[in-house]
Amino acid sequence: MLNNWLKTSLLMAAIVALFGAVGMLLGGVQGMIIALLFGGAMNLWAYWNSDQMVLRMYNAREVDGATGGEYYAMVHELAQRAGLPMPRVYIIDEAQPNAFATGRNPEHAAVAATSGILRMLSARELRGVMAHELTHVKNRDILISTLSATVAGAISALAQFGLFFGGGDRDRPNFIVQLIIMILAPLAAMLIQMAISRAREFGADRGGAEISGDPEALASALRKIEAYARGTPMGAAERHPETAQMMIINPLSGGDLKGLFRTHPATEERVRRLLELARRGV
């Protein structure tokens, strides 16, 4: 666990350093200072607000015991099994099957599932998915995922804003260099996000299998979600690709550069590990 936190801290530091480097390249020393100050303020803001920002991006609506039906009851039961406070529960009105968790800690957490996943999966499979998401809460992955999504999005915005910087003096790059930065900086941020996400997905799969007591159900769910998600675009995710790493399966279509930067490990490998856990009686 300590090694995992150290690795994550280094990766988050790399994102902040990238933020400062983009500022330096676009605006010289003054640009770097402004970018770092902005990055620090944004991280502080994101700590308190990024979960609600992400939920708003996906137009998620909160449900309770009266409106959430079996889905809400399932999350309640799994949270008790995991020894967690009851998170807020949301539904996203999207056809693509997917789910994510967000929040700054277990006491201020939320889980969200699309209407597509609620329709498509069996109760047993959905239970495995929600156990996976609650493992992210239990492992405190959710703050890192939400913060990295927020900072990566800001890096993309900063790089694009850089085109409006005046160029030509010795502290600032010319237009061609700015254009290269605009393209490469968001890709670098996405690569760092990939490194943050991959190990955490394997850990959440294992934890979800342990909480639900049914590794095969989660393996079956992952296969189904992968198959259906490929052909069912999710508009909010396409508009905000920095949030893709929060989902249980990458929600992005593979039709452009976004498809080259997958933030999740291969589903086949995740399924293989889960079936191995089932064989060992986990």
Report yes or no on 33 lying in a domain.
Answer: no
- Other CB atoms within 10 A of residue 120 CB: 19
The verdict on whether 226 is a catalytic residue reads no
**What residues have CB less than 8 Å from 10, skipping those under 6 apart?**
none
| CATH number for the domain that contains residue 263 | 3.30.2010.10
Lowest mean pLDDT among 16-30, 199-213, 222-236: 16-30
pLDDT of residue 273: 96
Share of the chain above pLDDT 70, in %: 71
Better-scored residue on pLDDT, 33 or 194: 33
Report yes or no on 225 lying in a domain.
Answer: yes
Domain count, the chain: 1
Is the pLDDT at 258 greater than 50? The verdict is no
Better-scored residue on pLDDT, 166 or 273: 273
Is the pLDDT at 188 greater than 70? The verdict is no
Report yes or no on 151 lying in a domain.
Answer: no
Contact assessment for residue 156 and residue 257, using Cβ atoms and an 8 Å cutoff: no
- Of 62, 70, 77, 133, the catalytic one is 133
pLDDT of residue 211: 97
pLDDT of residue 65: 95
Better-scored residue on pLDDT, 69 or 171: 69
pLDDT of residue 277: 95
Report yes or no on 253 lying in a domain.
Answer: yes
Report yes or no on 230 lying in a domain.
Answer: yes
Q: Where does the pLDDT of residue 69 fall: very low under 50, low under 70, confident under 90, or very high at 90 and above?
A: very high
pLDDT of residue 194: 65
Report yes or no on 157 lying in a domain.
Answer: no
pLDDT of residue 244: 84
Better-scored residue on pLDDT, 107 or 45: 107
Sign of the torsion formed by the C-alpha atoms of 140, 143, 149 and 151: negative
Average pLDDT score over residue span 205-227 = 96
Mean pLDDT of the chain: 81
Q: Quick one: which of 117, 71, 133 has its CA closest to 229? A: 117
Which secondary structure element, helix H or strand E, spans residue 81, and what is its range?
Answer: helix 69-82
The domain in which residue 206 lies consists of 48-146+173-279
pLDDT of residue 279: 94
> Mind giving me the DSSP string for 196-213?
HHHHHHHHHHHHHHHHHT
Report yes or no on 241 lying in a domain.
Answer: yes
pLDDT in tens, 100-133: 999 888 999 999 999 999 999 999 999 999 999 9
pLDDT in tens, 127-176: 999 999 999 999 888 777 666 666 666 666 666 665 554 444 545 555 66
Q: Quick one: which of 158, 135, 159, 137 has its CA closest to 146? A: 137
Is the pLDDT at 257 greater than 70? The verdict is no
Report yes or no on 13 lying in a domain.
Answer: no
In terms of pTM, does the model score above 0.95?
no
pLDDT of residue 25: 72
Q: Where does the pLDDT of residue 30 fall: very low under 50, low under 70, confident under 90, or very high at 90 and above?
A: confident
